[in-house]
Structure 1
Amino acid sequence: MKVLPEILSKLHEKHAAQLTQPSPEELENALIETSKSLSRVFIVLDGLDECQATLDCHTRLLSCLYNLQTKTQASILITSRPTSEVEIIFSGCLKQEIKAKASDVDKYVESRLPKVLGSGLETANLGAMIKSKVMGIVDGMFLLAQLYMDSLQDATSAAEVREALDEIEIQPSQNTEDGSYTPMLFKAYDKVMARISGQQPRSRNLAMKTLSWVVHAKRLLTTAELQHALAVRDTDTALDFQNVREIDMILSVCAGLITVGENSDCVRLAHETTQKYLESTAAKYFPNAQSEITSTCTAYLTFHGFDVLPVQSRLLRMTTERPLFPYAATYWGHHAREAGQCVSDSVNKLLRCNVSVQIACSKISSENDILNPNTTWNPLHLAAFFGLSRHVEALIDDGLDPNRVGDRNISPLMVASANGFEEVVNLLLNKGADIQAKCSGQRTALIFASLFGHGAIVRKLLVKGADVTAGPYTDMLAFDPASVPGYWDVVSLLAEALLKAGSTGSHGRYLMRLDGGIDRMTRMLLRWGAHMRHPPSMMASGSAPLDPTLGK
């Protein structure tokens, strides 16, 4: 009896050999096929509200679950705090509200009293006073109780406990639409940050750097990834393992604001509202977060140690011996783009190291395997992939050919078009990029922009003379219109351009067959002046084209 389904075994063999990660589409397909082989499937998704919104995580995850349930009839249970977004998404689903009882919070506060009242701090009624004040404000919210009890724990006398209690102003519940009790919580968080800022300089700096990473990371970090991220210093040319700190040390300086998952080994903030608070105060506490993270990632990718090894051997060693490497390679460019002009030196160093560029390209996680980033890409591909327009311009000015292609004949213009970076597309076109070039799959930059719903780039390429009849548009049939932002805007632009070009044949029929859009597309084409040569019944089936001749 096989332990793993065949589709998972093959997927593992494929990516283990290439030292790559499966694409979201591959994982979704494997999940669907595996579920089909089972008589019943139950899926539990805990903490949807904690799924990071960056890189469209919410949309992709929910789209995957929707497809899975549609194709396999799986039963899905999702837990989440009642945010407004979650309420809208699941408005038609069965719901069960779960709230903490006052007695549960009372037991929690009671369990914390011994530490607060230790070392002879107990005086008449002090414990009862603590419970009364804390219970009077938290209104059943465990996190608020935790924050206030934390604030009392470092008191060294009964007088200090009473002073801290006096600062806890009992006020009416002021919960926001998503139930986060923002005014009260933010005041409690202010006190926690004041405690962190009052530590010794080294402890304070470590805490701020830790919080900056956890808040701004594009995905959850493992403990090992965070430890290595915090070990990198500006002047390092190689990783100093003696600067890698124990995770308990890191947690201790952050005053309870970050935790490590019991089963996942991932570092996360204590609560979803902690993220909201730190994001809202980022300009105050982490003004240079993006540039500092970029510098750490690029330095990590260029560290000495495996320079003499072939690319594949170096990739294997870095993947297994450098925990931060996959994150740094995948996300450094996103941080660099958000940092703006503050990171030119560190980015330039990376882009001008050919081996580091090859290594970084081999680990990029793209939305799917259409672009296929790999070691054949040059620095221009890499800069275009992340939308780093200033660096794209600098590389071309230094002599790099904007039309130099990588594997599958993918050009930098195709990469920028697929990823939606209009400024980079404009720059490449002005620098002589071939707008009509095709990859080995016969896709042009126009097709790449269309596939990912980038209407502004589609419009720009059409204005610049892109051949709308070059096709193929069959790729678009594989997409769910609802999952591609701007999908119908793109279809509208393409259809109008095809009609103006007087194109007949398969392109018009493909656009007519797009899932769920027959009536919409028919009205669109007729509005532009196409003649209906067949009855509506044939049009609805997608079997008959419209006459593209414009005018009446």
Structure 2
Amino acid sequence: MDGVSVASSIAGLVTLALQVSATIAIYVNSIKERANTVRELHDELLLLGEVLSGLRDFLESEKVKGRVLDTQSVLSKAIRDCRQRMERIGDRLKPSEGGKVARAIDHLRWPFEQREVMQMVENLRRYTQTFQFAFTIEGFNLLSKTSEDATKGLQEMLLISKKMSELSAQMGRSADESSKLALQLEAIIDLVPLLARTVADVNEISQATRLAELREQERRTTEILDWLAPLSSLHKHRDLQVRRAEGTGRWFLEHPEFSRWVDDDSKHDLLGVGGPGAGKSVLCSHVVDYLRGKFQDHDVAIAFYYYDYSDQQSQNPSSFARSLLRQLSSRGEVVPSAVSEFYRRTRNAVKDQTWYHDLLNIIRRVVATFSRCFIIVDALDEADVQTQRSGFFEVIDAIRNSPGSTVKVLATLRPHVLDLMTRFHEPSTIDILANPGDIRQFLAQTIMEQPESEYLMDDKLKEHVLNTLCTNANGMFLLPALQIKTILDQITKADVRRALLHLSTDLTHAFQSTMQRIFTLPKARRDLAFRTLMWVSHARRPMTVRELQHAMALRPEDHDLDRDNLPSVKMLIDCCCGLVEVDYESSIIRLVHHSLEEYLREHDHGLFTDANLVITKICLQYMMLDSTRDLPYKNRKDFANALEDVPFLQYAALEWGHHAYSVPAEEIKDLALALLSNSTCLNTIARVRDFRSPDLRDWTNKAWAWAYSGGAGISLAAGFGLSELLKILIAENRHNLRLGVRNVYGNTALHEAAFFGHTEVAEILVANGANLLDTNYGQSTPLYLAVSYGQLEIVKLLLKYGRDQLDQPGPRGFTALHKAVEQGDEEMVSTLLQAGALVGAIDNQGTTALHLAAFRGYLSIVKLLVASGAVVHVRDKEGLCPLDYAATSGFTDVVAFLLENGGSMFHKGRERWTPLHRAARGGHTETVAFFLKRGANVLATDYKGNIPLHLAVRSGQIEAVRTLLEQNTDPDHQRAQLFVQDRKGSTPRVVAFFTAHYDIHKYLRAAEWQAQGITTPSSANRLTTAIEKGDLPSVRVLLDNNPQSLTSLDEDGQPPLHVAIQENQTRIVEFLLQRGASVESVGYHGWRALHIAASTGNLELVELCLSHGARVDTLTNTKQTALHKAASSHSVAVVRRLLSAGADPAAMNERGMTALHIAAHQNDIAIVRMLVLEHGVDVLARDRQGMTAGMWAERSAHLEVCAFLAAEARKAKQKKRSSAGEHIAGTGDTQTRDNADALALGEVRDALEGAIEDNNSNTNQPEGSVRGLIMT
């Protein structure tokens, strides 16, 4: 670049520096404890901006006119690196995405630690010195060089400068100028290595393309994580962090039981037991942050969950599981592929019990990727007894079943629920009482943060306050926390002393005292306080401040909202005298503690007896306001923006019926009927309820059709279970009931009643002619929907009205029995079988209920089905029996039962796999061992010539391999397995090498030696053995004694360097290279060192090979490049490095497969996206079997990869058609495109119908569809 171009980029950098410094200026006066360091950072940025302005002027001057600056020069790198560092500082200073209150708070929250600020200041000074040095021609010329040359020149100048300084000192002259120059040169020399690291990270590919890809990856990650659980579900932890006093909680973190729980390898749980207000939630937040600091590596998972009495509606078992999975998925740099697939596969699916069980399976798979998993759960006593607690243990038990991971649970709870201890795993307990030192620290900080405290109390009075409150705390944090608010509300010191004399000694008296204070307020404020407490304590879910303000502003006579009637947030909080608080992260207003909720519920004040009636009426009135009828419906975004102006509308539309459920219908009849007969209001309700759903298509038209159908009112009342109101509606519309009207999901009123389990409503609807066989848009009848959501009583009711509905096919051809079995609901299955469900009914794939039960491992249901007449040897459309399904999933107990009841372990499906093949391919060691004990044929071959051992090797599970070989001690049997060849001539050991399972390869080689009677390594393998042991001294001795062995091949045809690389023995690799080993030496099957390094996914070894001259275009005997091997290693870094070194992304192996084909088959979305978006690899390219990369992804049920490649294929086809259209326009050939499309479709069909071989897969198939699992 020329000087002018560089100057233009610097101009933007100057602007950025000023913007960031302006943001920091806000904090200078507000962050008292760190004001000096904040000001220093601010001033350093201003100085940098001035220096950059000077550099810009210099580069635009005549002095450097015509000079060109290389992009790899020190000055260019410094400018780029400086911009990136300032952008990162600016990003950290951005406020959160919460509400206005949250953003306001964030503006006062300094996001940097002290050490971070000092490091930033130091780095900024280096940039300032570097840019200032470039002001001169000499400095500019020096910094225009690359790092190595520039460093050499700078060091020479530094040496001269120091000598000049010494000479000046000897002559008695000032050495200031020389000293300044020396300091400047040292700063620049220190900066150069930092630039080298930054460039290595950022400039591997085009900067703009890479950043765009990172932004897209962040967007997709955020989309998946928010689908799992909204970020707001984690806000309570942030809120507790803010409320903590510095230095508190140490007693718990230093407790011996806590240390044992953290550090022991055992899986025992820890329970923190304490009374109300003891500070359990704050201690949990301490634990979470402590563990995050202690275990910063990605191999340890930490997740938390705070139960909340006020949010029991949303804190169901599914929400608990989703929140944990979000946190586990956030632990690494990318979302786990299993989670991405689950999102892609089910984001639009019905979230029924089947989906929930699949969710638990995904959690198990993700947890299994960590060595340890810590789960911290607060306030388990606040979880609902009937649903939440049982769901909690269901999720925890599922996580504990994750193979290979140590799961540790810490839960806090009150003493009265200690009966739950038996559900935990070897629990130890810590009694939680508020620590006196922590209380004192908290109170002192609270007083210090009160601006008027220095006038309200002197040091002596302050000490008296602290002593009194700590003495009266009785082991509680909450009591002194409430009392300090009372103290700080006083006006004079005398008032403070008087308040200390009348302090409550327990929470009940504290609440009573506060209620008495509210009673003494002026009437307007007293009424406001009690209305606030009513809403906050009786709302169905936590309400935001704006929702509450709108609800409180409405008067019975209002036809529209008077916005001047909105009470201020401060007024709401002040009137309640400390009984409510606002979570400024989420803008939620709530009671100060669960114990206050208990107090309000258990003590009869006569204040809230008609709360549900009042709330119902306000909800109904709000939905009929003039301002709620004219909302824009053009698109979801406009509608969502409009809802911001009427924030209470969502609560009213979603919750009014739940409040009305306990209210006599006559008391709300007039308002309710007015709403339920008003099509405009019903249209608004439909849109409010469903506009965010990703499931909907054409939601506006569907909502309008439902609202104006004449049956929407009945449908809405049925969904809420309002039976008395429903009777009134039916009586008034008897001659035009319209019970078949469908809502936006295609549900009739009976569907809604079945979905929510409203038995009385369902009975009323059926009695009045509702059609039992109506199906919604998902092809579900009311019975099928009830089964899907476990509504047993509804199912029993509907079955009284006929069995035609029982075997009617639903989604995927499932009957109700299929669905009940899939969900593992044994009681539901039993009910359906007793009602006469067809036990042998098949779905669209020919699958029976027994197939599904076997696949999911539901042994009791399998027994129930067989006892009811299910045929054990029934086959689906692929010729697979239930035994095949059970073997695929590795459920040994189900396998055993099916064999005892007529199943055959010698049965083969279409691809000629026996059940043993399937168990081996899944790496299910226990199931493999069971088959072997029963006499399964270990030499049975499939149509490719694979015996079970071949497939066990592909699974990568060495224990399954060991079992196949070692359980049968017959040497002839072992020899036959070891040396059998598939149709390609590959033995199991050869397959292990090709699939990069080098540990299995070593094991099988040793087994072959044993079978051949070889007891010690031959001379050709002595060096190999030493390398495999990592014994560098022995390697050195062997090479010293026989230098020729450096290039000789062992018995596997491998040179020593190849063995060292596949064993990840970096020190030995470096030693061999130093001794002269060639990276281009050819080993087994034509592999070179770079092929092996790439197959391991080890970037360090790849770099070693490349630095020693390894070529990226060499081919194995099967024409595979190193890039092909890297694509199956799941290492984005290695793939990127090979591409930057010149690897051809379009290179094909002998089967015509590119790296894209392999990455798609291996389910690596990151590598797939990189190859397509950054390197333009052709998504339409076909291998020798006519398969595109997208077809490989589809065949293996890799849904996220499949969806991405399908979208890219559409773009590529459109581009081809555009080009073809131009050609056709010139030739007049109107049949060309149609013929091409027809040919392509034929190739796709032929390819999918043909038998396709695994591409040396070294991973198990994902848990996608049953079909994808069974057939792969």
Q: Deviations over 1:249-285 (max 9, x none)?
A: 1111011111222322222222232333334347733
Q: Secondary structure at the match of 1:469?
A: coil
CA–CA distance in structure 2, aligned partners of residues 318 and 478 of structure 1: 44
Alignment partner, residue 149 of structure 1: 484
Once the two structures are superposed, what CA deviation does each residue of 1:32-89 show, in whole Å capped at 9, x if it has no partner? Answer: xxxxxxx959987666122645335231222223546434347665452463857974
Does structure 1 conserve the Cα–Cα contact (< 8 Å) formed by 2:620 and 2:652?
A: yes
AA partner of residue 513 (structure 2): K
Which residue is equivalent to 1:72?
366
Pair 366,489 (structure 1): closer, same or farther in 2 beyond 3 Å = farther
Structure 1 residues 206 and 81, CA gap change in structure 2 (3 angstroms): same
Match of 2:308 among 23, 44, 50: 50
Structure 1 pair 110/471, CA: closer, same or farther in 2 (3 Å)? Answer: same
Matches of 1:511 and 1:376, distance apart in 2: 41
Alpha-carbon contact 2:851-2:881 (below 8 Å) kept: no
- The answer to whether structure 1 residue 93 and structure 2 residue 408 are counterparts is yes
Name the residue aligned to 1:268.
590
**Matched residues in 1 for 2:744 and 2:382: separation?**
44
Which residue pairs with 1:358 in the alignment? 683
Shift of 1:477: 10
Residues 162-195 of structure 1 deviation map (CA, whole Å, 9 limit, x = unaligned): 775555565xxxxxxxxxxxxx322211211121
Q: State the partner residue of 1:522.
A: 862
- Quote the residue 2:548 is aligned against: 226
Q: Secondary structure at the match of 1:465?
A: coil
Residues 450 and 530 (structure 1 numbering): CA distance in 2 closer, same or farther, change over 3 Å?
Answer: same
Tell me, what secondary structure is at the counterpart of 1:93? strand
Residue 831 of structure 2 corresponds to 493
Q: Which moved more, 1:264-273 or 1:117-126?
A: 117-126
Q: Distance in 1 between matches of 2:458 and 2:644?
A: 56
Counterparts of 2:750 and 2:695, CA distance in 1: 14
Match of 1:453 among 790, 795, 799: 790
In the alignment, the residues of structure 1 paired with residue 308 and residue 821 of structure 2 have an alpha-carbon distance, to the nearest angstrom, of: 26
Give the CA deviation at 1:426: 0.8
Choose the corresponding residue for 2:852, options 508, 513, 518: 513
Alpha carbons of structure 1 residues 9 and 319: separation in structure 2 relative to 1, 3 Å = farther
In structure 2, what is the equivalent of residue 177 of structure 1?
Answer: none
Between the aligned partners of 1:41 and 1:253, the Cα distance in structure 2 is 49
Q: Identify the range of structure 1 (281-290 vs 407-416) with the bigger mean alpha-carbon deviation.
A: 281-290
Residue 156 of structure 1: how far off its partner (Å): 7.2
Distance change in 2, residues 1:481/1:47 (3 Å):
farther
SS at match of 2:581: strand
8 Å CA contact retained: 1:473, 1:510: no
From 382, 394, 415, the equivalent of 2:716 is 382
Letter in 2 for 1:349: A
After superposition, where does 1:108-187 map in structure 2 within 5 Å? 108-110=442-444, 130-153=465-488, 165=500, 167-168=502-503, 184-187=506-509
CA distance in 2, matches of 1:294, 1:328: 8
1:240 aligns with 2:562: yes
Distance 2:494 2:549 in 1: 39
| Partner SS, residue 589 of structure 2 | strand
Structure 1 range deviating more: 438-447 or 95-104: 95-104
Deviations, residues 446-476 of structure 1 (Å, cap 9, x unaligned): 0011111000000000012142111337578
The letter of the residue matching 1:518 is Y
Distance 1:82 1:202, change over 3 A: same
Cα distance in 1 for partners of 2:692, 2:658 equals 14
* Counterpart Cα distance in 2 of 1:51 and 1:121: 36
Greater shift in the superposed pair: 218-227 or 119-128: 119-128
1:155·1:161 contact (CA, 8 Å) conserved in 2? yes
| Partner SS, residue 376 of structure 1 | helix
Residue 322 of structure 1 corresponds to: 646
SS in 2 for 1:267: strand
Q: Secondary structure at the match of 1:338?
A: coil
Q: How does 1:298-337 map to 2 (within 5 A)?
A: 298-305=620-627, 307=629, 312=634, 315=639, 318-337=642-661
Q: Residue 738 of structure 2 aligns to a residue in which SS?
A: coil
Distance 1:203-1:452 versus aligned 2 partners, 3 A rule? same
Q: 1:391 to 1:81 in 2, by over 3 A?
A: closer
- Under a length normalisation based on structure 1, what TM-score does the superposition of the two structures give? 0.77
Deviation by residue 1:108-164 (Cα, 9 ceiling, x = unmatched)? 44566798x989998998766654443233134221102233344556788876775
Report the Cα offset of residue 505 of structure 1. 2.6
CA contact (8 A) 1:133 1:168 kept: no
Contact 2:821–2:852 (Cα < 8 Å) also in 1: no
Give distance in 1, aligned partners of 2:380 and 2:660. 34
Contact persistence 1:389–1:423 (CA under 8 A): yes
Query: How far apart are residue 228 of structure 1 and its match?
Result: 1.1
Aligned to 2:729: 395
What is the CA–CA distance in structure 1 between the aligned matches of 2:631 and 2:314, rounded to whole Å? 36
Report the counterpart of residue 80 of structure 2 in structure 1.
Answer: none
Specify the alignment match of 1:16 in structure 2.
Answer: none
The residue identity in structure 2 corresponding to 1:392 is L
- Mapped partners of 1:9, 1:226: distance in 2: 34
Q: CA deviation at 1:389?
A: 1.4
Task: Provide the secondary structure at the position in 2 that maps to 1:61.
Answer: helix
Computing the radius of gyration from Cα coordinates, the structure with the larger value is 2
Aligned to 2:807: 469
Give the aligned residue type for 1:379. Answer: G
Task: Give the Cα–Cα distance (whole angstroms) in 2 for the partners of residues 397 and 119 of structure 1.
Answer: 70
TM-score by length of 2: 0.36
Provide the rounded CA distance (Å) in 2 between the counterparts of 1:199 and 1:123: 29
Q: Which amino acid aligns with 1:95?
A: L
- Compare 122-131 and 53-62 and name the one that shifted more: 122-131
C-alpha distance in structure 2 between counterparts of 1:56 and 1:491, whole Å? 28
Residue in 2 aligned with 1:250?
Answer: 572
CA distance in structure 1 between the partners assigned to 2:305 and 2:593 by the alignment = 11
Do 2:487 and 2:496's aligned partners in 1 also have CA atoms closer than 8 Å? yes
Residues 613, 663 of structure 2: 8 Å contact kept: yes
Match of 1:35 in 2: none
Deviation at 1:202, TM superposition (A): 0.8
Provide the rounded CA distance (Å) in 1 between the counterparts of 2:305 and 2:521.
Answer: 32
Which one scores higher on RCO, CA 8 angstroms, separation ≥ 6? Answer: 1
Residues 1:261 and 1:502: Cα distance change in structure 2 (over 3 Å): closer
Query: How has the CA–CA distance of structure 1 residues 452 and 110 changed in structure 2, closer, same or farther, with 3 Å as cutoff?
Result: same
Q: How does 1:175-214 map to 2 (within 5 A)?
A: 184-214=506-536
Structure-2 separation of matches of 1:357 and 1:7 = 38
The yes-or-no answer on 1:61 pairing with 2:261 is no
Pair 503,456 (structure 1): closer, same or farther in 2 beyond 3 Å:
same
- AA aligned to 2:739 is P
Which whole-Å CA distance do the structure 1 matches of 2:299 and 2:620 have between them?
A: 43
Question: Are 2:839 and 2:865, in contact at CA under 8 Å, matched by a contact in 1?
Answer: no
